[in-house]
Amino acid sequence: MAGNRAQPAYDAIGIRVGNIMVRPTLTVSPEYSSNIFADPDISRSDLAVGITPAITAAIVAPGASLSLYGEAKFRRYARYSSQDDEQYRIELNGSTELPGDFTLQTGLSWGETTAARGTVGNDLTVGDPLKQRDLRTRVALRKNFNRLYAGASFSATRSTYGDVQLGNGAAIDQSFRNGQQAGGEVSLGYEMSPLLAVEAQARYEIYDYRDARPLSNRDAKGYSLAAGLRYQITQLLLAQFNVGLREHDFDNPLFARIRGVSLSGRLRWYPTPLISLRADLDQSTTTSALDQVSAVTVTDLKAGVDYEYRRNILLTLESGISFEDYGEIGATAKRFSVTGRTEWKINRWLRLGGYASFNSRTGASSMLIRGYSSVQTGVRISFAV
């Protein structure tokens, strides 16, 4: 499968420590952005250099696996040093097969990231980078009963945001976004044939924010019910689509209830060993960087294609469109992106790559939500053991 196939002549060997395989990497990435503040009026461009050390450690045994991944990214700008940032991420994932045809999957992660400007996560065009820290956990269990299968999962996230410093001693408070989110999901499916299955899902979520202000607190409960189809021909084609209803109820009576259609979908198609096609449809309800907004409903549609040229060169084209609904302030926006990437595996320890992308935001119907456009391009030099 293009981009994911094992290639012994070009894949890093790694370091074996007992039954643990360790794979360290170091990536250097010079980058250019035409509009680093995502400002609709004044486009300020700059060059930056990112340095990303990362390490993966994995244990694979019959019926079980455990992996640990960690990375740190340091970015430095040539002109606007106030936008320099550091980002960190660590993830632990495991899976095992249990007696009775059960499968258990678990995950735990922590990250300190910079919320990208011009998105729902960061609508601010001024100040230092907006820092976000997330602690996430997930547990999922699946059981097969011949042609019937059932699953249940639980996930929780704790998020904290740093205030945005303006450089003059003032700051934009983001503490109203701090809080916890927890939810559970149950699913049930039936294989009508070896190729076709029908599925149903139900999800319940609790949003608990640490905003002490009674007029702006966004504590809420979310519900969704959906049903759909899954069509799969071996591992070469997977098509899945679910549709249903969703609801987001605020404890604060000043905020209107959010209701709508729930959509999700997934497509994976491998027409040849050298070509991979994929598409994803997803919806989420999240908070905004603006305290005038109770919640934002985001519908994402992404598509991409990978092509292996001469085995060791991977060409990728990706595009995405997001529809943002800002509820009570009557604002909507549309984000569009297209990105081209290339990766050249020179040998086991050295890879070169490059990318170019265009991002835009249009249709903003409020002064609070402003459109913009930007171009980013860069190269990547990766060293692996």
The pLDDT, as a whole number, for residue 202 is: 97
Query: What is the share, in percent, of the chain residues with pLDDT greater than 70?
Result: 98
Between 293 and 316, the more confident residue is 316
The pLDDT, as a whole number, for residue 129 is: 94
The pLDDT, as a whole number, for residue 192 is: 92
Q: How many residues does the chain have?
A: 385
**Contact of 195 with 232, CB cutoff 8 Å:** yes
pLDDT single digits (tens) 322-366? 999 887 677 888 999 999 999 999 999 999 999 999 999 987 666
Q: Which fold has domain 98-384?
A: Porin (2.40.160)
Burial classification of residue 339, based on how many CB atoms lie within 10 Å of its CB (0-12 exposed, 13-18 middle, 19 or more buried)? middle
The pLDDT, as a whole number, for residue 366 is: 65
DSSP at 369: B
Distance CA 244, CA 225 (A): 5
pLDDT single digits (tens) 28-78? 999 999 999 999 888 999 999 999 999 999 998 888 999 999 999 999 999
Give strand pairing partners of 21: 16, 58
Distance CA 295, CA 300 (A): 16
Dihedral (C-alpha) 271, 272, 275, 277: value to the nearest 10 degrees?
20
- Locate the domains of the chain by residue range: 98-384
The mean pLDDT of the chain is 92
Buried b (16+ CB within 10 A) or exposed e, 173-209: ebebbbbebebebebebebeeeeebebebebebebeb
Query: What is the share, in percent, of the chain residues with pLDDT greater than 90?
Result: 68
- pLDDT above 80: residue 122: yes
- pTM, two decimals, is 0.89
Between 365 and 173, the more confident residue is 173
Burial classification of residue 377, based on how many CB atoms lie within 10 Å of its CB (0-12 exposed, 13-18 middle, 19 or more buried)? middle
DSSP string, 43-67: ---EEEEEEEEEEEEEEEETTEEEE
